[in-house]
Amino acid sequence: MVADERTPGSARTRVAVAGARAATESSFGRRGRADKAGNAVFVSILLVGLGAALAGLVGIILWAAVTGWPFLSTKLITNNPSTIDIANAGYRPAIVGTVYLISGVILLIVPLGVGSAIFLEEFADKTRWWNRLIELNIQNLAGVPSIVFGILGLGFIARGPLSLNFVVAAGSLTLALLVLPTVILAAREAIKSVPPSIREGSLALGATPWQTVRRQVLPAAIPGILTGVILAVSRAIGETAPLLLVGAATFVTFDPDFFSSRYSALPVQIFTYAGRPQEEFRILAAAGVIVMLAVVLVMNSLAIWLRNHYERKI
Amino acid sequence: MRLASNRLARLVALLMALTLVAAACGGGDEGTDLGTASGGDLSGSVNLDGSSTVGPLSEVAAELFMQENPGVQVSVAISGTGGGFEKFCQGETDGNNASREIKEEEVSLCEQRSIAYDNVQVANDALSAVVHPDFPLDCMTPDQLNQIWDEGSAVSAWGDVEGLDLPDDAATESVTLFGPGSDSGTFDFFTDAINGEEGRIRNDYTDIGEDDQAAVQGVSGDEWAMAYIPYSFVQEAGDSVKPLAIDDGGGCVEATLENVQSGDYTPLGRPLFLYASDTALARPEVVAFFDFYIENQAEIAEAAGYVPMNDEQAAAAQEQVATLAGA
Amino acid sequence: MTVGPDIAAPSPGVAVRRTLGAASPRYGEKAIMAVLAACAALSIAVTTAIVVTLVLPSIAFFREVPIGEFLTGTTWQPAFSNAAFGVLPIVVGTLMVTAIALVVAVPVGLCCAVYLSEYAGPRARKVIKPVLEILEGIPTVATGLFALLFLRPFAEDVLPFLPWGGLFSLLIAGIGVGLIIVPLVSSVADDALRAVPPGLREGAYALGGNKFKVTVRVVFPAALSGVIAAIVLGMSRAIGETMIVLIAAGGGNPNLSFDIFGSVQTMTAFIGRTATGDISQGTIKYDTIFAVGTLLFVMTLAINVVAIRLVRRFREVYE
């Protein structure tokens, strides 16, 4: 019956149907145990893959902990950097600088990223060439190397039209532009995955398109959007190259100001220390990595708590 | 469970708050106390940028200076000598750490902005050709180094180098070379001093990029390897590498503090500069910083692992600052 | 404003809308749409700025160095006195590092994604997903140092028979880059897999498929567009990665080389090194940054155009 009709619909559906049919037909006959074995093998392959990723993470953490162990203490967080007394040096201004930078980045990417994603998914006419251009553009920007954003930041943000000078705001803006495509892409995927029935129902009940987006689509898409923001912020925290060009210092002993003073950042500090001849500096660099991981852990936990708070099955 | 991970997440977020509080409250530097003096009434900021070689030197100077003048905020960045000059000539920094002298292209940048500058020397540095501790020779001439490193060099085994007094079994050992990246001042200086032209060098050595430490590792692991690295790395490497003495016509001169300071270690001794500008020196805190830097340069160089200036160089530097500041 | 058929008023007392359009001008809606459009258009502004920053100095560069020599030459030594500007060695370096990174990240990332979306219970998911996000958050400096100082000696200890040359290795740098793009690939693919409606899975189960077959033959193909997007995103990130290759891949060879056990210089590492090095600005040596940057930009653009086509072909629209 069904097999005789030409199944309408996309090639996708046809592939899925063919797959289901093959799956069904292959399980006719006495194949129970082989299936179970096949399943077990498959799951173990998956677990090997997962294990490889976790092993990498654990490897990095362990290496940093073991190498940086001699200098691991609260002094890392409370002390200023020092070149003469390396054993007592700390990362305080760099931590504060990083926190300020990331706060700026978050403030910028959430409205801009979500706004762009909403526009592209909900309101843009996808057949228009300019919307396709924007789409291509964003995807392309996701791959532009971070150092190019550094050059952009130096030419346009720290100097040029914006002329913010070498301050935290310039660094934040540069980093925000760098990670914005990631947020937009993830937010788009999240919004795309909200079933159209929700939108249609809302519109049918008389809501305006924006009300629909704000009250129905966005809350449903928030977990996915938060994933994108977490990924973006994680990347931004660790970026070194653009900050070096945009004027991050490697030695400051004061708390920075958003708009009017030099600043430092953790990854810049770590990179600089790793290249110094003195062995103690390299231990300090590894200890700095631990501090960075702690900062990342804390920020991620906050975001995860937020995401769990909003997650609900549709 | 959802509740458990929520609780965990909240706990960690609380830790974050505590950490930030600790960071904010625990401000002080528990470093060594190097004798405070008065003069703590200066305020303002001094922003330096430039070479990553001279950076650590300026950091030590900044640290010591701020101990005596807590009202001044000194910051040091490392955009590279070239990037630093560009910022310096736009008036965005108050001094440029430079491992080389300013080049013509950069001079025109400064002239465009009518910034008068001067190359204030702040320390000496020495490049060393290093080999494995068990390498049979202790000394080479610049000409022999040139044979090894020159562009189009045919040297592939140690026996190919003319005039080396090697044991017979060494002649067939192949030469392994490590060198820094072509973007570094060290590269420019070495090629100029040994091969006669900046950038003139053979192209089949192992390029270690940014990581001078990798050169130390490479050489200490291969009895027949050679590299050239700055003084501070040689000091830190200790016994794992052997710096060759250089015979530039007056006998074998080792790269010791005294030889470099007196200028006897040629041709691989080089000055390190902190370029000063008249616009920056118009501010008292900048003048105070430069004066402090030059007055205490021996202590600063020693703490950072560099070679101090001799009295002549220090006096010249002081004069340069005074002239620019007065101008 | 009047759109749609005119409906004749039936009996009195019943209010009938004359049109199907909106009852009010909805200026608020239009204003919001304008704001959102501006957000999206910001990306065009950024790209324009990048193009301006890169292309203008490149024009000066290409007046000195013929573009043919640039694109086809096989020796790259711009800062040497006998300078050569053939960009192929660093292009090949970039492509090889990216290839190794994808070989590492795509299987691992997809395994993680499939496991997370199909096999992991909610408890396991709530633990594993954040852990992968921490992997994403590790600064690339740390991964680079880890690759150089731990992975490389470790690899030589474990596999001493391979021709490891020197301290830097393309292979190790590629593995490092692969490691950091695993969370990206995994997370986007996971979202795509989760977006496949349960109905599709349940239908396949009902027809007798086991979990393995349902996952591989039904769910995975249905999420293909998202998976391709994930891979392309990972590839773009790998091509653009700077710090890991800067630290762990060394300075590379001026001549074209395919040795995965030796040092390599990628386009990004070259730009990073030269931009923060001691080379003076305004010289040809410095302007190579912009030429290489432009090339990089054009390459990623080409890859993305192809990828968008692919994704569009496979996009599944549910319901």
pLDDT in tens, A44-72: 999 999 999 999 999 999 999 999 888 88
CA C166 to chain centre: 30
Q: What pLDDT does residue B23 have? A: 52
**A67 contacts: CB under 8 Å, gap ≥ 6:** A282, A283, A286, C149
Asked if residues A231 and C187 have their Cβ atoms less than 8 Å apart, the reply is yes
The owner of tokens 């749609």 is: C4
Task: Give the confidence band of C108 by pLDDT, cuts at 50, 70, 90.
Answer: very high
CA A129 to chain centre: 29
- Residue B300 token pair: 């600063």
Backbone torsion region of residue B106, taken as left when φ is above 0, otherwise alpha when ψ lies between -120 and 50, otherwise beta: alpha
Q: What pLDDT does residue C307 have? A: 80
Percent above pLDDT 70 for chain C: 92
The verdict on B38 touching A (C-beta cutoff 8 Å) is: no
- Residue A220 token pair: 């449903």
For C201, nearest residue in chain A (alpha carbons): A20
Please write the tens of the pLDDT for every residue from C190-212. 888 988 888 888 898 888 878 88
Q: What pLDDT does residue B325 have? A: 83
> Is A219 or A176 the better-scoring residue by pLDDT?
A176
Q: What pLDDT does residue A131 have? A: 82
Residue ranges with strand state E in chain A: 249-251
Percent above pLDDT 90 for chain C: 26
Distance CA C132, CA C180 (A): 10
Distance CA B84, CA B96 (A): 6
- Chains A and C: how many Cβ contacts under 8 Å? 335
Contact between B207 and C251 using a beta-carbon 8 Å cutoff? yes
CA distance C269 to chain B (A): 9
- B226, β-bridge pairs: B131, B177
CA distance B312 to chain A (A): 26
Distance CA C33, CA C19 (A): 23
Contact between C250 and B81 using a beta-carbon 8 Å cutoff? no
The CA angle A118-A220-C120, to the nearest 5 degrees, is 120
Dihedral over Cα of A226, A231, A232, A238: its sign? positive
Contacts of B85 in chain C (CB under 8 A): 280-281
Q: What pLDDT does residue B27 have? A: 44
Nearest-CA neighbor of B95 among B301, B278, B317?
B278
Nearest-CA neighbor of C305 among A138, B27, A304, A96?
A138
E strand or H helix that includes residue B216: helix B212-220
Tally Cβ neighbours within 10 Å of residue B232: 22
Distance CA A284, CA A94 (A): 13
- Residue A141 token pair: 């920007």
Pairing mode, strands B245-247 and B176-179: unpaired
Q: For residue A45, what are the CA distances in angstroms to B172, B212, B289?
A: 51, 42, 63
Nearest-CA neighbor of C100 among C173, C48, C151?
C173
How high is the ipTM of this complex?
0.80
Dihedral over Cα of A110, A114, A115, A120: its sign? positive
| Axis-axis angle for helices C198-206, A11-26 (nearest 10) | 30
What is the residue type of A279?
Answer: E
Q: Which residues of chain B have pLDDT under 50?
A: 1-4, 25-38
Indicate the burial class of B108 (C-beta count within 10 angstroms; 0-12, 13-18, 19 or more): exposed
Task: Give the confidence band of A77 by pLDDT, cuts at 50, 70, 90.
Answer: confident
CB < 8 Å from C in window 70-109 of A: none
Q: What pLDDT does residue C12 have? A: 61
What number of residues does chain A have? Answer: 314
Tell me: pLDDT of A157 over 80: yes
Task: Give the confidence band of A176 by pLDDT, cuts at 50, 70, 90.
Answer: very high
CA distance A293 to chain C (A): 6
Q: What pLDDT does residue A8 have? A: 58
pTM value is 0.84
Q: What pLDDT does residue C186 have? A: 92
The CA angle B60-C273-B155, to the nearest 5 degrees, is 100
Distance CA B302, CA B315 (A): 19
Asked if residues A269 and A81 have their Cβ atoms less than 8 Å apart, the reply is yes
For A76, nearest residue in chain B (alpha carbons): B23
Q: For residue A169, what are the CA distances in angstroms to A60, A156, A174, B110?
A: 31, 13, 9, 27
Q: What pLDDT does residue C126 have? A: 83
CA distance B247 to chain A (A): 27
The verdict on A250 touching B (C-beta cutoff 8 Å) is: yes
Contact between B305 and A298 using a beta-carbon 8 Å cutoff? no
Residue ranges with strand state E in chain B: 44-50, 72-77, 95-98, 117-131, 139-140, 176-179, 206-207, 225-230, 242-243, 245-247, 252-253, 269-277
Asked if residues C192 and C168 have their Cβ atoms less than 8 Å apart, the reply is no
Task: Give the confidence band of C165 by pLDDT, cuts at 50, 70, 90.
Answer: confident
CA C174 to chain centre: 15
Nearest-CA neighbor of A144 among C170, C18, C242, C45?
C242
Contacts of C49 in chain A (CB under 8 A): 152, 155-156
Asked if residues C252 and B206 have their Cβ atoms less than 8 Å apart, the reply is no
Please write the tens of the pLDDT for every residue from A269-306. 998 888 888 888 889 999 999 988 888 888 778 877 87
Dihedral over Cα of B249, B254, B259, B261: its sign? positive
The verdict on A166 touching B (C-beta cutoff 8 Å) is: yes
Helix residue ranges, H only, chain C: 27-64, 67-72, 88-114, 122-137, 140-146, 152-158, 170-194, 198-206, 211-213, 220-222, 224-240, 243-248, 267-275, 284-314
Distance CA A64, CA A70 (A): 11
Contact between B55 and A302 using a beta-carbon 8 Å cutoff? no
CA R_g for chain B: 24
Please write the tens of the pLDDT for every residue from A240-258. 889 988 878 888 888 888 8
Tell me: pLDDT of A165 over 90: no
CA distance A288 to chain C (A): 9
**C180 contacts: CB under 8 Å, gap ≥ 6:** C135, C136, C138, C140, C143, C237, C241, C244
Contacts of B185 in chain C (CB under 8 A): 278
- Cis amide linkage into residue B267, ω under 30° from 0: yes
With contact defined as 3+ CB pairs under 8 Å, the chains touching B are A, C
Contact between C168 and B209 using a beta-carbon 8 Å cutoff? yes
Indicate the burial class of C48 (C-beta count within 10 angstroms; 0-12, 13-18, 19 or more): exposed
Contact between B83 and A294 using a beta-carbon 8 Å cutoff? no
Contact between C239 and A145 using a beta-carbon 8 Å cutoff? yes
Please write the tens of the pLDDT for every residue from C262-284. 888 999 999 888 888 888 877 88
Q: Backbone phi, then psi, for A248, in 5-degree steps?
A: -65, 135
Q: pLDDT averaged over chain C?
A: 85
> In chain C, what's the furthest Cα-to-Cα distance?
95
Q: B interface mutation test: which of A75, A157, A250 has the most B CBs within 10 A?
A: A250
Q: What pLDDT does residue B37 have? A: 42
Distance CA C189, CA C187 (A): 6
DSSP state of B157: B
The verdict on C166 touching B (C-beta cutoff 8 Å) is: yes
Query: Percentages helix, strand, coil for chain A, rounded to the nearest 5?
Result: 75, 0, 25
Mean pLDDT over residues A262-266, rounded? 91
The verdict on B75 touching A (C-beta cutoff 8 Å) is: yes
CA distance A81 to chain C (A): 19
The verdict on B249 touching A (C-beta cutoff 8 Å) is: no
Task: Give the confidence band of A312 by pLDDT, cuts at 50, 70, 90.
Answer: low
Stretch among A159-163, A216-220, B120-124, C81-85 having the lowest mean pLDDT? A159-163
CA distance B3 to chain A (A): 10
- Residue C26 token pair: 């909805």
Reduce the DSSP state of residue B165 to 3 states and report it: coil
